[in-house]
C-alpha cells in the first residue's frame, strides 16, 4: 500500500516564519517586556508600542501588502501573537483584535471602497480597530441584543441607538465593526454589521472597565445616540451580521489561543528558571519530585496547546484556499489553550510560593492575564457547545 503526502500548508516552520518569530521575540523582549508591569499598574494604553508594532507590520500580518499589511499567513500571525503575549498579554490583545476581528472582517466582507478607506490605515497601524458585539444584557446570546439601527426615510443612512459593552480598544479605536439589530423580529437573522467611523457625531465612549488583567488593553462601553451611519458603510448585506460575526470569531479564537500559549509559555519558563535557582532543604527545588511533576504537566499541556493552535491556523489557511470551515479546530485550540494558560499560571504561582503572590515577580500578572482567555471571544462553556454541536451535526 502506498501513502501519498497531502499537499498544502504544513506545521513545519519555514525560514521566513522563523525569521519573523525571532524578530518579534527580540522586539517584544526589548520594547514590551521591560514596561509591561508599568502599563499593567497604570492601565494606560501603550500608544508608542502600538505605533512601533504597526511599523513592523504586526497590526496587519495577514493582510495583503496592497492594503497596507505584511502579506503573511496565519502561521506567521500565531507565532507573532505568541511572542508578544510572552512579553505582555495586553499588547497581544490589541494585535489580535486588530488583525483577526477587524482587518480580517474588512478583507473578507468589505467592498473595494471600504478596504481602501478603512482597511489600509488599520493594517498599516496608522489607526486602531475594535469589534463590538456584546451588550450589557447580551453576551453569548447575541440574538437578544437591544441596540437598533433604523434606515432613514431617504434611504441614505441608518440611525443607530444603543449601548455596547466590553469593547476591546473601545477608548482609543478609530474604526469599529458594530453588530446591531436592523430587523429584531428575525432574531439573529436580523443583525447587520456596520463600519463605524468614531469621528462622526453620536459616537460616545462610555466608562472604561477596571479589569483584573490585560489592563493596558483599553476596554470600555460604547454608546450610540442617533449615530448616522451611511448605507455605504454596511459590511456585507443587511441581515448578514450574525454570520459575519461568527466567521470572524473563528479567526479571533485562533488569536486568543495564541495569546494563551504565549502567557503559558512565559509562566512555564519563569517556573523552570525558579526551580533551578531556588533552594530548599539544601538543594534546588527542581530536585523534588513534586515540582518535577508540576513542570512535566505544564510542559506537556503547553506543547499540546501550541500544536492545537498551529493546527487551527492550518485549517484557516485551507479555508482561505477553498477548504471547509475551521470552527471546530479554532474552538478546540481556544478551549484547550485558555484552560492550559490558567492551569500553568496557577502552578507557576504555586511553584514560586510567596514570591508568586508578589508583584515583584511577573507570575502574578500572568495569572491575572490568563483568566480572560477562558472568557472573551466565547467562554470555555460556549466552546464546548460549539465543538459538540459540530461533532453531532447539529445546527
| Residues recognised as catalytic | 377
Pairing of strands 203-208, 219-230: antiparallel
- C-alpha distances in Å from residue 390, one per residue of 113, 242, 328, 363: 36, 18, 7, 36
C-alpha distance from residue 265 to each of 102, 337, 338 (Å): 27, 11, 12
Sorted by sequence, the CB contacts under 8 Å of residue 44 that are 6+ apart come out as 216
- Written as nine digits, the cell of 50 is 502600538
Alpha-carbon span 95 to 387, nearest angstrom: 26
Query: 91: which DSSP letter?
Result: H
> What is d(CA 252, CA 187) in angstroms, rounded to the nearest whole number?
23
| Alpha helices, H only, 161-238 | none
Smallest CA-to-CA distance from 305 within 267, 258, 366 is with 258
Instruction: From residue 27, give the alpha-carbon distance in Å to each of 13, 30, 169, 328.
Output: 20, 5, 22, 33
CB burial string 256-295: b at 16+ within 10 A, e below: bbbbbbbbbbbbbebbbebbeeeeeeeeebbeeeebeebb
Amino acid at each position: 500500500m502506498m501513502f501519498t503526502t497531502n499537499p498544502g500548508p504544513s506545521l513545519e516552520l519555514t525560514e521566513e516564519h522563523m525569521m519573523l518569530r525571532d524578530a518579534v521575540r527580540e522586539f517584544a523582549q526589548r520594547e514590551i517586556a521591560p514596561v509591561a508591569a508599568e502599563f499593567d499598574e497604570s492601565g494606560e494604553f501603550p500608544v508608542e508600542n502600538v505605533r512601533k508594532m504597526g511599523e513592523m507590520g504586526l497590526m496587519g500580518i495577514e493582510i495583503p501588502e496592497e492594503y497596507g499589511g505584511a502579506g503573511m499567513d496565519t502561521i506567521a500571525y500565531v507565532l507573532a501573537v505568541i511572542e508578544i503575549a510572552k512579553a505582555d498579554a495586553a499588547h497581544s490583545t490589541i494585535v489580535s483584535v486588530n488583525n483577526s476581528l477587524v482587518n480580517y472582517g474588512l478583507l473578507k466582507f468589505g467592498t473595494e471602497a471600504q478596504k481602501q478607506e478603512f482597511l489600509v490605515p488599520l493594517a498599516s497601524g496608522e489607526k486602531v480597530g475594535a469589534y463590538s458585539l456584546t451588550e450589557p444584557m447580551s453576551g453569548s446570546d447575541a440574538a437578544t441584543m437591544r441596540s437598533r439601527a433604523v434606515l432613514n426615510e431617504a434611504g441614505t443612512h441608518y440611525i443607530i441607538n444603543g449601548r455596547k459593552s466590553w469593547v476591546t480598544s473601545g477608548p482609543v479605536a478609530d474604526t469599529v465593526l458594530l453588530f446591531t439589530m436592523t430587523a429584531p423580529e428575525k432574531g439573529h437573522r436580523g443583525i447587520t454589521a456596520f463600519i463605524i467611523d468614531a469621528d462622526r457625531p453620536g459616537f460616545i465612549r462610555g466608562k472604561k472597565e477596571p479589569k483584573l488583567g490585560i489592563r493596558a488593553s483599553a476596554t470600555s462601553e460604547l454608546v450610540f445616540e442617533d449615530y448616522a451611519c451611511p448605507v455605504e458603510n454596511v459590511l456585507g448585506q443587511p441581515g448578514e451580521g450574525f454570520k459575519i460575526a461568527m466567521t470572524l470569531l473563528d479567526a479571533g479564537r485562533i488569536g486568543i489561543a495564541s495569546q494563551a500559549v504565549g502567557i503559558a509559555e512565559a509562566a512555564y519558563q519563569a517556573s523552570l528558571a525558579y526551580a533551578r535557582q531556588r533552594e530548599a532543604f539544601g538543594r534546588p527545588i527542581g530536585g523534588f519530585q513534586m515540582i518535577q511533576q508540576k513542570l512535566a504537566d505544564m510542559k506537556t499541556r503547553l506543547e499540546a496547546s501550541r500544536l492545537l493552535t498551529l493546527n487551527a491556523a492550518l485549517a484557516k489557511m485551507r479555508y482561505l484556499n477553498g477548504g471547509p470551515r475551521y470552527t471546530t479546530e479554532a474552538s478546540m485550540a481556544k478551549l484547550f489553550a485558555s484552560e492550559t494558560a490558567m492551569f500553568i499560571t496557577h502552578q507557576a504561582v504555586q511553584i514560586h510560593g510567596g514570591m508568586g503572590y508578589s508583584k515583584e515577580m511577573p507570575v502574578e500578572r500572568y495569572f491575572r492575564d490568563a483568566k480572560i482567555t477562558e472568557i472573551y471571544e466565547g467562554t470555555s462553556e460556549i466552546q464546548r457547545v460549539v465543538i459538540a454541536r459540530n461533532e453531532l451535526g447539529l445546527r
